[in-house]
Chain A
């Protein structure tokens, strides 16, 4: 373990990536995540075996990552909302070709160019695959500097273990905020287990390999889709994660992720001081979504409030998980507005008293 340092979120991801054995980064400038690209330029330069490329486009960047990943490198690209839209072609190919890669989305206000303020408007895009075709990506939603460091390490491990693209879904706030962080020790890339599928030249010692996504025979394409599906089911069983905060006696549970969860936690603390029995469930993996945790909570919690920095996207997954057993309320501020804990506390208060939850 390193000693505790104070660092900006974007730099934390960069440092954690290099320590996780990332040796290939390609990116394109876009606010509010340029600090990550700049950090990777420096950190890949410091390494003998690191590659940094400022690509001519988001498309080129993600396709360079495809190449780096095919050749066996732990590879990463990053961007912000409009840039992530452009990368979707490559993300679909990464999923189809079962290539590991880490993609960081520092979300900003949208749609279109939107603005550069923190937002959570890309939840649908992130958790539904994002590009064309029948696939999912693992989506991790850090909510603190320390979690940025830990989940970045985890992202590279998941990507390699499951041979799948992993998205780190942050926002402008996560990227800019400075917090104390303790980094995990660097990985020795030479000790990482060899990948028996990479393209490094057959060397006359093994049959040549093909990494492809085109499967013209529908029967074979169907089997590939089933194979991916089986993998996604395994991922869902193995990695789904959420943080539960003061939910054991709660009459109302707030569901929020990332920056919104930080705000929501402040709100929960405020209403607890007023005697309201309110808790927080914070999904750490957005895909796979912690539906089991919500299902369990819905046995005794009859009201949920989903709070997002969007017009309401994760709320659909919450409803799907609860399957009508409880009431699901929603509060959201889209467009780059950051609510205060007081503002969310007021919403909690209103629902709590309107539903007479104090009498339960």
Chain B
């Protein structure tokens, strides 16, 4: 995992003040209509009992997995994983089957349910702002975050940084960087002071969820070929056997039928 060299985010839940400026910045940068968004603020909001109150909210967008399940699931290959990190969706290939939405364990890809055939209904998701990153800028959400809850940089450096923050304030954090290994590793690393489930993150192992289905898919062609061979042999065998026994059989059959 440490060899991966590309861009990533840190999200630090202890710093998030739930101002949602990232949502606005994202929508403006990417021309997202008012009724849609590529970022959600998940989590329980204010938690605890007065006077001991805490807030737990999380900025939620595409995790840009190292081994994306959407990419594995898409029948027409509309998804690609760029070398420098982002998982990119190509609307020109999409057939609108929405299997990527089922495949993504984080529920990230969203669909245009309000568009007909003429306008075209597509999937929408975070792109890691390549139009900004390519010219040396940070993604819009990161650039606008007033409390530095979002940080952008090289993944390996950010991992060091994340662990350093936990080391420096072990009481303020849960000792785990969500996304370091989850689902095969993601490019969105999350630090939190509350259990990750309270931030709305699924409990996922280090194997990406596509693992089993890709293994099964690997058996398809060998299975199809051997199954064809087996069926052909059975059919030939049965045919030859029946031909050999053709003469005595009709008598038996008529016997049975006459009963």
Physical interaction between A and B: no
